[in-house]
């Protein structure tokens, strides 16, 4: 492949070779169709734009403006994307990105890649977690502030009611139905870090199921306020549908719920979930073998770091849940291809 590409574009540098490997593995043009031409000015190719957005994620180019500038001066990248002549404008890229977001083709492509490359294999450790995604918009959900108590004592301030758990309904639902019922708009999220510090952000949450070696199997984007446990059952079923088998499902204490453990065990898998401290009662710790196996959960944390640091996870410039998810999926596809090729 590289011998042929060198004859067309000249000798590829390291970035171009990396892009060529990802484009050849993902083959985003297999799920993107160009619209028919009925006269007038010839339209720009949707397939070439999709490959360009994948290049943007692979090379961690922060904005579409920077992508256009890079393609204007880089003949090799421009040829790999399929732009025979001029490079489309920013507005054209934005229209094409909206088309990809509304159609959900990146999710279809990801599912096809997982089923083609991992579908008959057994995943030994499926690690599940979520990560905060900073949004570029205001929160669409306004939460009422609790009333302050009167000076000089009085009753404590009332706390806002917690959202009801969706887990009981998810036990009898198809995973697609469960995912459709989850909120996805931009709102405010709260999370406690590993050191016990609480931080807040406005935006979204990216939820991932990652197999051994850092291969993303399932991905979904929700509102920032959605609790991690609400994604355990839908993602478990989604991943089980895409791969041949799963031995262990590894999660942190946010997923510690009896219904989740029972659902995973019912499928013949082993739920390895960090015990949570509830009601002031010390949880039962892992035995030495479980504690050693639980260390594999860092796989999903490294995948999140890779997406954020190297594939656009920290440079979300689009607005709306569909566009944000599509932006993140280009990063997920990049990581999938790089891990599969062994060049991550």
| Lowest-confidence pick of 150-164, 251-265, 323-337 | 150-164
Determine the pLDDT at residue 165.
Answer: 82
Q: Is the pLDDT of residue 9 over 90?
A: no
Residues ≥6 apart with Cβ < 8 Å to 28: 47, 50, 51, 54, 109, 333
Confidence of residue 45 (pLDDT cuts 50, 70, 90): confident
Q: Concatenated DSSP letters for 263-287? A: HHHHTT-EEEEPPP-BTTBPPPPPP
Q: Is the pLDDT of residue 193 over 70?
A: yes
E-strand spans in the chain? 122-134, 187-192, 198-211, 215-223, 245-251, 270-273
Which numeric CATH code is attached to 119-140+166-318? 3.30.420
Average pLDDT over residues 189-195: 80
CB 226 within 8 A of CB 183: yes
Which residue in 40, 112, 54 sits closest to 82, CA to CA? 54
Determine the pLDDT at residue 237.
Answer: 96
Of all helices (H) and strands (E), which one includes residue 103? helix 90-103
Report pLDDT digits (tens) over 261-314: 999 999 999 999 999 887 777 788 889 999 999 999 999 999 999 999 999 999
Q: Is the pLDDT of residue 181 over 70?
A: yes
Q: What is the mean pLDDT of the chain?
A: 88
CB 330 within 8 A of CB 57: yes
| Lowest-confidence pick of 99-103, 175-179, 282-286, 335-339 | 282-286
Q: Which residues of 118-149 are buried (b: 16+ CB within 10 A; e: fewer)?
A: beeeebebbbbbbbbbebeeebeeeeeeeeee
Domain boundaries along the sequence of the chain: 2-35+43-103, 119-140+166-318
Q: Which residues of 58-75 are buried (b: 16+ CB within 10 A; e: fewer)?
A: bbbbeebeebbebbeebe
Per 3-state DSSP, what percentage of the chain is helix, strand, and coil (rounded to 5)? 45, 15, 35
Determine the pLDDT at residue 37.
Answer: 57
CB 223 within 8 A of CB 186: yes
Q: Is the pLDDT of residue 155 over 80?
A: no
Residues ≥6 apart with Cβ < 8 Å to 226: 182, 183, 205
Q: How far is CA 295 from the centre of its chain?
A: 22
Determine the pLDDT at residue 40.
Answer: 53
Determine the pLDDT at residue 157.
Answer: 55
Share of the chain above pLDDT 90, in %: 69
Q: Is the pLDDT of residue 35 over 80?
A: no
Determine the pLDDT at residue 104.
Answer: 93
Q: Is the pLDDT of residue 194 over 80?
A: no
CB 247 within 8 A of CB 123: yes
């Amino acid at each position: 492949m590289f011998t042929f590409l060198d004859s067309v574009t000249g000798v590829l540098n390291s970035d171009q070779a990396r892009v060529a490997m990802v484009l050849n593995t993902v083959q985003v043009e297999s799920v993107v169709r160009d619209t028919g031409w009925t006269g007038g000015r010839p339209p720009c190719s949707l397939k070439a734009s999709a490959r360009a957005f994948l290049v943007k994620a692979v090379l961690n180019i922060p904005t579409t403006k920077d992508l256009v500038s890079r393609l204007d001066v880089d003949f090799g990248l421009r040829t790999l994307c399929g732009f025979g002549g001029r490079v489309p404008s920013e507005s054209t890229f934005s229209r094409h990105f909206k088309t990809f977001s509304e159609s959900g083709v990146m999710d279809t492509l990801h599912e096809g890649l997982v089923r083609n490359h991992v579908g008959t294999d057994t995943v030994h450790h499926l690690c599940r977690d979520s990560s905060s995604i900073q949004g570029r918009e205001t929160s669409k959900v306004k939460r009422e502030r609790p009333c302050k108590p009167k000076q000089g004592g009085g009753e404590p301030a009332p706390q806002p009611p917690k959202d009801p758990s969706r887990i009981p309904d998810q036990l009898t639902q198809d995973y697609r139905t469960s995912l459709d019922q989850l909120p996805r708009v931009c709102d405010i999220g709260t999370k406690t870090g590993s050191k016990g510090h609480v931080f807040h952000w406005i935006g979204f949450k990216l939820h991932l199921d990652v197999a051994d070696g850092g291969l993303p199997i399932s991905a979904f984007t929700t509102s920032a306020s959605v609790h991690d446990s609400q994604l355990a059952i839908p993602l478990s079923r989604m991943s089980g549908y895409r791969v041949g088998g799963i031995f262990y499902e590894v999660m942190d204490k946010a997923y510690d719920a009896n219904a989740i453990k029972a659902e995973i065990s019912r499928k013949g898998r082993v739920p390895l979930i960090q015990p949570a401290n509830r009601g002031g009662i010390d949880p039962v710790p892992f035995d030495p073998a479980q504690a050693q196996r639980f260390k594999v959960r860092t796989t999903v944390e490294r995948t999140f770091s890779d997406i954020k640091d190297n594939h656009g996870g920290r440079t979300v410039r689009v607005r709306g849940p569909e566009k944000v998810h599509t932006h993140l999926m280009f990063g997920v596809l990049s990581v999938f291809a790089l891990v599969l090729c062994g060049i991550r």
